[in-house]
Amino acid sequence: MGMKSGSLLRLFQSEYFDAHLHMTYLLRMEQSGVQDYLVNELYKMEDDDVDFYLPQLCQVALLRYNTSSLHRFLLDKASRSMHFALRIHWMMQSFVEDRLPELSESALAMVNACETAVVNSAAQDGTAGSRRSSAPEAEAEQQPVGHSNSFRRNSSCPELRTADAGGASASNADGGDALCEGSVTDEEGMA
Protein backbone atom coordinates (compact mmCIF):
# COMPACT_ATOMS: atom_id res chain seq x y z
CA MET A 1 0.00 0.00 0.00
CA GLY A 2 1.58 3.22 -1.15
CA MET A 3 0.24 5.45 1.62
CA LYS A 4 2.54 7.79 3.47
CA SER A 5 2.75 7.21 7.21
CA GLY A 6 1.03 10.52 8.04
CA SER A 7 -2.01 9.76 5.91
CA LEU A 8 -2.13 6.22 7.29
CA LEU A 9 -2.15 7.56 10.84
CA ARG A 10 -4.90 10.04 9.92
CA LEU A 11 -6.94 7.14 8.53
CA PHE A 12 -6.42 5.09 11.70
CA GLN A 13 -7.55 8.03 13.84
CA SER A 14 -10.53 9.01 11.67
CA GLU A 15 -14.16 8.32 12.55
CA TYR A 16 -14.40 6.04 9.51
CA PHE A 17 -11.84 3.61 10.85
CA ASP A 18 -14.11 0.89 12.20
CA ALA A 19 -13.48 -2.66 13.44
CA HIS A 20 -13.67 -4.08 9.91
CA LEU A 21 -10.99 -1.73 8.59
CA HIS A 22 -8.97 -2.40 11.72
CA MET A 23 -8.92 -6.13 10.94
CA THR A 24 -8.15 -5.49 7.27
CA TYR A 25 -5.12 -3.34 8.05
CA LEU A 26 -3.98 -5.68 10.81
CA LEU A 27 -3.81 -8.45 8.22
CA ARG A 28 -2.35 -6.45 5.32
CA MET A 29 0.19 -4.19 7.02
CA GLU A 30 3.25 -6.20 8.00
CA GLN A 31 5.49 -3.39 9.26
CA SER A 32 6.18 -3.85 12.96
CA GLY A 33 5.43 -0.22 13.87
CA VAL A 34 2.05 -0.33 12.16
CA GLN A 35 1.30 -3.71 13.75
CA ASP A 36 2.17 -2.39 17.21
CA TYR A 37 -0.04 0.67 16.74
CA LEU A 38 -2.99 -1.42 15.53
CA VAL A 39 -2.57 -3.93 18.36
CA ASN A 40 -2.48 -1.11 20.92
CA GLU A 41 -5.68 0.27 19.41
CA LEU A 42 -7.34 -3.11 20.00
CA TYR A 43 -7.32 -2.31 23.72
CA LYS A 44 -9.74 0.53 22.97
CA MET A 45 -12.10 -1.69 20.96
CA GLU A 46 -15.37 -2.89 22.47
CA ASP A 47 -15.31 -6.47 23.76
CA ASP A 48 -18.19 -7.38 21.44
CA ASP A 49 -16.13 -6.33 18.41
CA VAL A 50 -13.08 -8.22 19.65
CA ASP A 51 -15.27 -11.27 20.27
CA PHE A 52 -16.80 -11.03 16.79
CA TYR A 53 -13.38 -10.87 15.11
CA LEU A 54 -11.68 -13.35 17.46
CA PRO A 55 -11.21 -16.07 14.80
CA GLN A 56 -9.47 -13.58 12.51
CA LEU A 57 -7.39 -12.21 15.38
CA CYS A 58 -6.26 -15.72 16.31
CA GLN A 59 -5.34 -16.49 12.71
CA VAL A 60 -3.33 -13.27 12.30
CA ALA A 61 -1.68 -13.80 15.70
CA LEU A 62 -0.38 -17.15 14.49
CA LEU A 63 0.66 -15.89 11.07
CA ARG A 64 2.67 -13.09 12.69
CA TYR A 65 3.58 -14.81 15.94
CA ASN A 66 7.24 -13.74 15.84
CA THR A 67 6.74 -10.24 14.42
CA SER A 68 3.58 -8.88 16.06
CA SER A 69 2.44 -8.32 19.63
CA LEU A 70 -1.07 -9.51 18.77
CA HIS A 71 -0.61 -12.80 20.62
CA ARG A 72 0.20 -10.83 23.79
CA PHE A 73 -3.04 -8.89 23.38
CA LEU A 74 -4.97 -12.16 23.13
CA LEU A 75 -3.25 -13.54 26.22
CA ASP A 76 -4.09 -10.33 28.09
CA LYS A 77 -7.75 -10.77 27.11
CA ALA A 78 -7.58 -14.41 28.24
CA SER A 79 -6.17 -13.43 31.63
CA ARG A 80 -8.99 -10.93 32.20
CA SER A 81 -11.98 -12.89 30.92
CA MET A 82 -12.80 -16.57 31.17
CA HIS A 83 -15.04 -16.16 28.11
CA PHE A 84 -12.11 -14.96 25.99
CA ALA A 85 -9.78 -17.52 27.55
CA LEU A 86 -12.02 -20.41 26.58
CA ARG A 87 -12.65 -19.13 23.07
CA ILE A 88 -8.98 -18.38 22.40
CA HIS A 89 -7.92 -21.74 23.83
CA TRP A 90 -10.53 -23.55 21.74
CA MET A 91 -9.46 -21.82 18.53
CA MET A 92 -5.75 -22.32 19.14
CA GLN A 93 -6.34 -25.97 19.99
CA SER A 94 -8.12 -26.38 16.66
CA PHE A 95 -5.03 -25.00 14.88
CA VAL A 96 -2.86 -27.50 16.77
CA GLU A 97 -5.12 -30.35 15.67
CA ASP A 98 -5.03 -29.15 12.04
CA ARG A 99 -1.30 -29.94 12.10
CA LEU A 100 -0.37 -27.20 9.65
CA PRO A 101 3.43 -27.00 9.86
CA GLU A 102 3.52 -23.21 9.62
CA LEU A 103 0.99 -22.70 12.45
CA SER A 104 1.00 -25.70 14.78
CA GLU A 105 4.11 -24.82 16.79
CA SER A 106 2.91 -21.26 17.44
CA ALA A 107 -0.60 -22.54 18.17
CA LEU A 108 0.70 -25.02 20.74
CA ALA A 109 2.70 -22.24 22.39
CA MET A 110 -0.49 -20.13 22.51
CA VAL A 111 -2.53 -23.00 24.00
CA ASN A 112 0.02 -23.39 26.80
CA ALA A 113 0.34 -19.64 27.32
CA CYS A 114 -3.46 -19.26 27.43
CA GLU A 115 -3.72 -21.92 30.14
CA THR A 116 -0.95 -20.22 32.09
CA ALA A 117 -2.61 -16.81 31.76
CA VAL A 118 -5.88 -18.17 33.16
CA VAL A 119 -4.19 -19.95 36.06
CA ASN A 120 -2.09 -16.90 36.92
CA SER A 121 -5.05 -14.54 36.77
CA ALA A 122 -7.06 -16.84 39.06
CA ALA A 123 -4.15 -16.95 41.50
CA GLN A 124 -3.86 -13.15 41.50
CA ASP A 125 -7.60 -12.79 42.14
CA GLY A 126 -7.22 -14.97 45.21
CA THR A 127 -10.01 -17.34 44.26
CA ALA A 128 -10.81 -19.16 41.09
CA GLY A 129 -14.46 -19.23 42.11
CA SER A 130 -14.81 -15.48 41.70
CA ARG A 131 -14.81 -16.01 37.95
CA ARG A 132 -17.70 -18.41 38.03
CA SER A 133 -21.29 -17.99 39.04
CA SER A 134 -22.91 -20.73 41.06
CA ALA A 135 -26.38 -19.66 40.00
CA PRO A 136 -28.21 -22.28 37.91
CA GLU A 137 -29.40 -19.55 35.55
CA ALA A 138 -25.82 -18.53 34.74
CA GLU A 139 -24.88 -22.16 34.19
CA ALA A 140 -27.81 -22.63 31.83
CA GLU A 141 -26.85 -19.48 29.90
CA GLN A 142 -23.33 -20.82 29.37
CA GLN A 143 -24.65 -24.09 27.94
CA PRO A 144 -24.18 -24.01 24.14
CA VAL A 145 -27.34 -24.18 22.08
CA GLY A 146 -28.08 -27.70 20.88
CA HIS A 147 -26.00 -29.36 23.57
CA SER A 148 -27.49 -30.85 26.69
CA ASN A 149 -25.96 -32.37 29.74
CA SER A 150 -27.04 -35.91 30.38
CA PHE A 151 -29.04 -36.37 33.57
CA ARG A 152 -29.69 -32.76 34.51
CA ARG A 153 -31.62 -32.37 37.73
CA ASN A 154 -34.64 -30.15 37.97
CA SER A 155 -34.08 -28.22 41.21
CA SER A 156 -37.78 -27.36 41.44
CA CYS A 157 -38.69 -31.03 41.80
CA PRO A 158 -39.69 -31.60 45.47
CA GLU A 159 -38.81 -35.29 45.34
CA LEU A 160 -35.26 -34.52 44.25
CA ARG A 161 -34.86 -31.80 46.86
CA THR A 162 -35.93 -34.16 49.65
CA ALA A 163 -33.82 -36.96 48.20
CA ASP A 164 -30.77 -34.72 48.04
CA ALA A 165 -31.37 -33.33 51.54
CA GLY A 166 -32.18 -36.64 53.22
CA GLY A 167 -29.70 -38.79 51.37
CA ALA A 168 -32.37 -41.31 50.38
CA SER A 169 -34.27 -41.46 47.14
CA ALA A 170 -38.00 -40.87 47.13
CA SER A 171 -40.23 -43.58 45.72
CA ASN A 172 -43.72 -43.48 44.30
CA ALA A 173 -46.60 -45.81 45.20
CA ASP A 174 -45.54 -48.34 42.54
CA GLY A 175 -42.17 -48.75 44.20
CA GLY A 176 -40.30 -46.97 41.41
CA ASP A 177 -38.26 -43.83 41.74
CA ALA A 178 -40.38 -40.69 41.91
CA LEU A 179 -38.91 -38.20 39.49
CA CYS A 180 -40.48 -34.99 38.37
CA GLU A 181 -41.23 -34.67 34.70
CA GLY A 182 -38.15 -33.35 32.91
CA SER A 183 -35.87 -33.80 35.89
CA VAL A 184 -33.63 -36.38 34.30
CA THR A 185 -32.96 -36.43 30.59
CA ASP A 186 -31.07 -38.76 28.37
CA GLU A 187 -29.04 -37.75 25.30
CA GLU A 188 -32.17 -37.37 23.16
CA GLY A 189 -33.78 -35.07 25.75
CA MET A 190 -36.50 -37.54 26.75
CA ALA A 191 -37.54 -37.88 30.38
Residue 72 identity:
R
Where in the chain are the domains? 5-126, 139-191
User: Quick check: 159 and 179 in contact, CB under 8 A?
Assistant: yes
Model pLDDT, residue 73: 97
What is each CA distance from 80 to 52, 74, 96, 120, 143, in whole angstroms? Answer: 17, 10, 23, 10, 21
| Closest to 110 (Cα-Cα) out of 46, 142, 44, 64 | 64
3-class DSSP state of 145: coil
| Closest to 153 (Cα-Cα) out of 178, 183, 186, 177 | 183
| Closest to 160 (Cα-Cα) out of 173, 136, 152 | 152
Average pLDDT estimate for 151-158: 42
- Tell me how crowded residue 90 is: count the other CB atoms within 10 A of its CB: 13
- pLDDT > 60? residue 21: yes
pLDDT one-digit tens code per residue, 75-91: 999 999 999 999 999 99
- pLDDT > 90? residue 140: no
- pLDDT > 50? residue 157: no
pLDDT averaged over the chain? 74
| CATH class, range 5-126 | mainly alpha
User: Quick check: 40 and 70 in contact, CB under 8 A?
Assistant: no
- Who wins on pLDDT, 81 or 182? 81
